[in-house]
Amino acid sequence: MVVGDDSPEILALFRGEANLVEMAAKQLLRRVGSAVPLEDLRSFGQEGLLRAARTFDLTRGVPFRRWANVRIKGAMIDGLRTWGNLPRRLYRELQGIEAGDRMLEAYDEDDSGSQAVTPEAADARLTTYLAGIATATAVATMAGDSSAEEDTPEERLGNAEFLARVRSIVAMLPERERALVERHYFEGQTMDDAAASLGLSKSWGSRLHARAIEAICRELRQTGDL
């Protein structure tokens, strides 16, 4: 990580929100347990904060703090993946956190171009957002490995049934949304790679992913699976 060569504007953003790294590291540590050294999470997070400062675009309408928070956690998760010896439960937990953050990022982009809305509409939109984040987290947590050795037989059965229901819903999605979800969640491609393989920009891939997850969420809630 090189800081001294960056512009004063980038350095001001980086130093002004340094506390986000500590907050995100402790939050993530509570989710994944003591197997992860806090100092390593801090190091990964600082890299993410610096990247956030370098890529921040004020014209997007998204506050820097929200922009940085997602990228700090993303950098921590990417850093942990390089270890290669994570317990499967921990790896699934990381997948879930990342998927939820990706939905939040897509919603931030949508909100950046939105005009003021009524309190009722804002409440309805928040409900939709929270349900979408929860759905993405659940699908990602289970899709990577629905039969980890640490799971009880009941958990394995529940996970398998949930994923079977998700797969049946995904099969009914529009073609590009279906392919994006299948390649990312079930074939192990990163979201960026899955979007690129379909000729989609990162931004458009994020929007299609959010649209697909919302469709999955609606179906799961109608059948009582979520």
Predicted confidence band at 192 (pLDDT cuts at 50, 70, 90)?
Answer: confident
- Whole-Å CA distances, 28 to 38, 159, 212: 9, 23, 26
pLDDT at 19 over 90: yes
Q: Given this model, what pLDDT does residue 85 score?
A: 67
What fold, for 117-226? Arc Repressor Mutant, subunit A (1.10.10)
Averaged pLDDT for residues 176-205: 89
- Whole-Å CA distances, 220 to 34, 97, 104, 113, 178: 33, 20, 20, 29, 16
209 or 188, greater pLDDT: 209
What fold, for 1-86? Rna Polymerase Sigma Factor; Chain: A (1.10.1740)
Where in the chain are the domains?
A: 1-86, 117-226
Q: Is there a contact between 21 and 49 (Cβ–Cβ < 8 Å)?
A: yes
Q: Given this model, what pLDDT does residue 111 score?
A: 60
What is the CB-side half-sphere exposure of residue 220 using CA atoms within 13 A?
Answer: 23
Averaged pLDDT for residues 22-27: 90
pLDDT at 90 over 70: yes
Average pLDDT along the chain = 81
114 or 123, greater pLDDT: 123
pLDDT at 30 over 60: yes
Averaged pLDDT for residues 27-50: 85
Using a cut of 0.75, tell me whether the model's pTM lies above it: no
Q: Given this model, what pLDDT does residue 42 score?
A: 93
Q: What does residue 149 show for φ and ψ, rounded to 5 degrees?
A: -60, -30
pLDDT tens by residue, 131-186: 887 888 888 877 765 455 556 777 777 778 888 899 999 999 999 999 999 998 88
